[in-house]
Each structure stands twice: as structure tokens, then as C-alpha cells.
Amino acid sequence: MKHPPYFLRFNKSADRFAMIEAIRHLSKLGCNFEDYTYHSLGGPFLEDFRLMYEYFPEMRFISIEADADTIKRQKFHKPCKKVVLTHTDMKSFINQYEPRDKKSIFWLDYTGLELSHFEEFKSLLEKIATGSMIKITVSADVRDYAKGNEQEKQKFADEFRAKFRKLLPNPVAPIPWKKDEFAYLVQHMLKIAAEQSLPAASSPVVFQPVSSFYYSDGTCMLTLTGIVWNRDDVKSIFTAYRHWEFVNTTWSMPCLIEIPVLTNKERLKLQPLLPCAHQKGQTLLTKLGYLVDNNNSNSSIALEQYALFHRYSPYFMQGFP
């Protein structure tokens, strides 16, 4: 089975490190990491499991994979013996999942945008223990619905509204064609899905978001992280995450991750200026002394993204066998 090399992608890597940061903040809520089991669609290289074991070795780890050949590759890449490889799909795993009040961290890391992804998210919310965290990643590429002429675009929009009618905030409203607005719409659909599973009128717990991002990973992706928590105590989450620069506890517009490709030499030159408090992009651009994009404005924007996510941006080295 063919897989994209996720471990070589800057934006995806930053998303992983943001997840690590979100998990770290659970300790401010009185949570102990040894009480958690991490579940994920790890892919052939189990890159997120490698990071999770590095930062949270006390956790338990379960990888979920439907493809038998990919599991063979996972056996080779297991970062530690604690990672349990399961041969099943996410839907089947959730159907059989019995938390028994044990806390979990799930990353529902999907590559598309299907109604089944929302249903699996909802099913998991109805089962998972209080204090657990769920991160869900889905495609949010408006280009899938904006192809061709106006007639074809309208057809795609009608099909989208028909497919996701029960999750749309306004089923008859036009589909937004801008990347950020479409990502925001998909996030709103996840909010509606969460409210359908944990309605305020009858559920003592709520899915409280703590961060959301959108980024290009070959296609535009939307990723949302939240905690299942007692509805009467959500203020404690606001307090625990209030100083994190990427916090989003209000379901507001997701944050863009668009890290520019810089050489290691350029990054070392910029390092003494980081973190920047004001005019991040222009400050770094002045330090470099040349454009990294096709004009001054785009270069400044690109370097502002680097300033925001430089701690989450991996170093890639070229090697020769």
C-alpha cells in the first residue's frame, strides 16, 4: 500500500509537535500520563508513536491499521516494544472499544472527508472516558468542490450539501470557496457532530476544543484537538491552556500552518532573533537581507509563519550511504 512520507513534511510535523504541546498541558488539569493509552492510525513509519514514546514513555500505545502489508512495515519501524499493533480499521476498533473509565488519547488521522469520519468521531465521543483527548484530522480542500466552470462548481456544492446536510450550520447556504473559510466550515461541522453526540441538555460532559489548525499536506487538511471534560468545569481547561499561543477554546477560526522551506544555514542565522515579539516576518526578512518568496509581502508572511512555528519545525539532513 502506498503512503505519503508524512515524516518528511514540515506542516504535518508542526501539527504533531502542536499535539505534543496540547497533551503536555493535560498535566495542568491534574492528569497523569501513565493513566493514558494513545491510539492512532500510525501509518507505515509510526512517526507519531516515535514522538509520543519520546515525550510520554509512561503511556500505553495502540496502533490501528487495516492493511496487512503496512503492518509488516510497522513491525520493522516500531519505536519500542510498548507499541501494540492491531490489524483492524478505525470503525471496527471504535465499535469494540471499551474504555472502562480508563483515559485515552485518540488521533483520528484521516486523509479524506467522508461522512463515516464524522460518524466514527461521534461514536468515540459517546464512549470515551472523561479526561480523554481526541484529535481529528480530515481533508478540508475546497478545490475538491471548486473544479471547472460555475455549473460544475454548483453541482459539487449541491452534492456536498446533500452529503453533509445534517452537519451543516446552514444546509442551504453557499459553500465558501476560500481555503480558510472552507476549513472553518469543516470545523463547524465537527462542532455540530460533537454537540449531537454530547448534547448540552442531557450530557454531563462536553467536547472542549483546545486547538485547531489548517495546513497543506499535499491537500489542505483541518485538524482539531479537544478534551472530553465535565461540562460544569470547563473553566479549568481555559485556565490550563490560557498561556499557550495556539490555544483555541472558542471554536474560532483555525490557525494556518504554512512553514516555508529554509536551509539549515538560514535557520541558524535567524535563530538568535527568535522568538520575536513584534513584526516577526519583517524582522526576520531584514536579518536575511533577501526574499524567500516572489515579493516582499509574501516573504514577510512566510517568515512570520516560520517565527510562529520554528519550535515545531523539524530539521531534515541529507545523507549519503
User: What is the distance between the alpha carbons of residues 72 and 62, in angstroms, rounded to a whole number?
Assistant: 15
- The pLDDT-based confidence of 289 (bands split at 50, 70, 90) is very high
Judge if 271 and 252 occupy the same domain.
Answer: no
Judge if 166 and 203 occupy the same domain.
Answer: yes
User: What is the value of pTM for the model shown?
Assistant: 0.94
41-63 pLDDT, tens digit per residue, is: 999 999 999 999 999 999 999 99
Q: Does residue 56 form part of some domain?
A: yes
Q: Does residue 320 form part of some domain?
A: no
Report how far Cα 96 is from the mean position of its chain's Cα atoms: 24
What DSSP state is assigned to residue 206?
E
- The pLDDT-based confidence of 1 (bands split at 50, 70, 90) is very low
Give me the sign of the Cα torsion angle 48, 50, 55, 61.
positive
Cβ proximity of 173 and 179 under 8 Å: no
Q: Does residue 76 form part of some domain?
A: yes
User: What is the distance between the alpha carbons of residues 207 and 229, in angstroms, rounded to a whole number?
Assistant: 7
Judge if 206 and 305 occupy the same domain.
Answer: no
What DSSP state is assigned to residue 178?
S
111-165 pLDDT, tens digit per residue, is: 999 999 999 999 999 999 999 999 999 999 988 777 778 888 888 889 999 999 9
Q: Which residue has the higher pLDDT, 19 or 3?
A: 19
CB within 8 Å of 277: residues ≥ 6 apart = none
Q: Does residue 321 form part of some domain?
A: no
- Helix/strand/coil for 245: coil
Judge if 249 and 293 occupy the same domain.
Answer: no
Report how far Cα 9 is from the mean position of its chain's Cα atoms: 14
If you average pLDDT over residues 75-100, what whole number do you get? 97
Domain limits at 272?
264-312
Q: Does residue 318 form part of some domain?
A: no
User: What is the distance between the alpha carbons of residues 265 and 267, in angstroms, rounded to a whole number?
Assistant: 5
Query: What CATH number should be reported for the domain holding residue 90?
Result: 3.40.50.150
Note the pLDDT of residue 65: 98
Judge if 72 and 136 occupy the same domain.
Answer: yes
Domain stops at, among 240, 257, 274: 257
Cβ proximity of 171 and 100 under 8 Å: no
Judge if 96 and 240 occupy the same domain.
Answer: yes
User: What is the distance between the alpha carbons of residues 47 and 25, in angstroms, rounded to a whole number?
Assistant: 21
The cell for 247 is 490555544
Cβ proximity of 99 and 127 under 8 Å: yes
Closest CA to 62 of 96, 28, 31, 25: 96
User: What is the distance between the alpha carbons of residues 222 and 219, in angstroms, rounded to a whole number?
Assistant: 10
Note the pLDDT of residue 195: 98
User: What is the distance between the alpha carbons of residues 111 and 9, in angstroms, rounded to a whole number?
Assistant: 15
- The pLDDT-based confidence of 10 (bands split at 50, 70, 90) is confident
Q: Does residue 128 form part of some domain?
A: yes
Structurally, the chain folds into a number of domains equal to 2
Exposure letters 101-135 (e unless 16+ CB within 10 A, then b): eebbbbbbbbbebeeebbebbbbbbeebeebbbbb
Q: Does residue 241 form part of some domain?
A: yes
**Torsion angle defined by CA atoms of residues 11, 13, 19 and 21, in that order, rounded to the nearest 10 degrees:** -100
Note the pLDDT of residue 8: 58
Q: Does residue 134 form part of some domain?
A: yes
Closest CA to 128 of 16, 193, 36: 36
Judge if 117 and 204 occupy the same domain.
Answer: yes
Domain stops at, among 216, 242, 257: 257
Judge if 145 and 57 occupy the same domain.
Answer: yes
CB within 8 Å of 46: residues ≥ 6 apart = 63, 74, 77, 78, 79, 83
